[in-house]
Amino acid sequence: MYSHATKDTGFSNLADRLGNQAVRNDATKGTGAHEPVDRPKGRALPSDATNRATASPTAISNHTSRSNTTPGEAASTSTTRLGALAEKLAREHTLADDEYRALISGRTPELAKRLAELARVAREPIYGTRVFTRGLIEISNICKNDCLYCGIRRSNHNVKRYRLEPETIVACAREGHELGFRTIVLQGGEDGFYTDEVLAGIVEQIAAACPDSAITLSMGERSRTSYKRLFDAGATRYLLRHETATPQHYEQLHPANMRWERRMQCLRDLREIGYQVGAGFMVGSPYQTIDHLVAEMRFIERFKPEMCGIGPFIPHHDTPFAHEPAGTLELTLYLLSMIRLIHPHVLLPATTALGTIDPRGREKGMLAGANVVMPNLSPIAVRKNYELYDNKICMGEESAICRGCLARRMASVGHELVVDRGDFR
């Protein structure tokens, strides 16, 4: 069914610069009030990389930037202004940078509730209360990259490495199709075993076996030629999280050989080839500031990905960020609602990470404006080895049980898990 391997191989790199200079400017200007303190700049890591994680304070407060105990007219005026900004975002799908900043830093439970209501109003004429499933097959945990936040990073020698054989991947896709999944997602580390020839062959077999299904790839950075070959084989969607819209922040999360400009070029290539493109970022990642989140909102507004996957940062114990605090459910839900208002047509997952930090995280995600879930179709024997972060849920459930559980969970908040490709509209 699957084989174990220990060597990491990869693909060539090609750097280019994002053509939208405004994204860079949005990310770097500001009052400085939300900048992290006592953090090293750039890529430099101490010889013991874990020192960087343990020494770095959280950059984003989990509370509002304005005291909730402030009485009188000033507090009332602030609440009214923020409510008006929420209404403006729902109406115009954009805000000025200082307005985004105020809406994020001034969040309250009442404002979050209003944003979620507006997000559902924006979503339902387009998608209703239907929830689309993506059957996720994690085909390899071998990766040539060394991202500082990732549990399957190259330097983690405690991981039991594996890769699925092509026939196993196709069998998982067939099983998913029988269970009602109409989108199959192949996700893996940047494992050089999956050359264009190998991966295109797998895509062609799945397309033949499941002709009414969409095939999504999430296989990292590849060349434009590679993306085109896979598109021609039958893959029509590609997920590639941009991780952060700010170049400096990207440098703080990745080793020196990984370039933000390269990630942006890949996203442009995918869009130009004709893929439905998925981007996304972690909420509460190390070094993240309010200004970074403003840049994320601006990036979603301008790039308009067909899919946007965001979830809370959850540390993994075998990474340099092991001791960093996790992102919060509260801020993740708030940003989900904002993204729905910025881009009403976006396909927006309630991620597994949401369900990991809160038992009803995915249900709460739906109420915040999400409309996609991604249950696992991988063989149970390897799921525990694809641990990007600690305590990942649904490691041992059979695929049929998992889908049934999700259907009941979605119904509990008035949503319906459907048998549908869930195309962008």
CATH number at residue 196: 3.20.20.70
How far is residue 390's CA from residue 154's CA, in Å, rounded to a whole number?
17
Residue 319 within a domain:
yes
Domain of 239 in residue numbering reads as 125-418
The β-bridge partners of 148 are: none
Residue 157 within a domain:
yes
pLDDT at 265: 98
Residue 307 within a domain:
yes
H helix and E strand count, the chain: 16, 11
How far is residue 251's CA from residue 344's CA, in Å, rounded to a whole number?
31
What percent helix, strand, coil does the chain show, rounded to 5? 40, 10, 45
pLDDT at 149: 98
| Helical spans, DSSP H, in 343-391 | 352-357, 361-367, 380-383
pLDDT at 393: 86
Question: Beta strand pairing status for 276-283 and 416-418?
Answer: unpaired
Gap between the terminal Cα atoms of the chain: 37
Looking at the 3D structure of the chain, how many domains does it have? 1
Task: Report which of 226, 305, 297 is spatially closest to residue 264, judged by C-alpha positions.
Answer: 305
pLDDT at 76: 65
Residue 113 within a domain:
no
Residue 386 vs residues 137, 146, 147, 172, 180: alpha-carbon distances, Å? 10, 15, 15, 16, 24
Residue 187 within a domain:
yes
Residue 347 has phi, psi (to 5 degrees) of -85, 120
pLDDT at 402: 87
The β-bridge partners of 309 are: 280
Mean pLDDT of successive 10-residue stretches along the chain, which has 425 residues: 42 34 37 36 34 41 37 64 97 98 97 98 98 98 98 98 98 97 98 98 98 98 98 98 98 98 98 98 98 98 98 98 98 98 98 96 98 96 95 80 92 98 97
Residue 9 within a domain:
no
How far is residue 316's CA from residue 392's CA, in Å, rounded to a whole number?
10
Residue 37 within a domain:
no
Residue 3 within a domain:
no
pLDDT at 45: 34
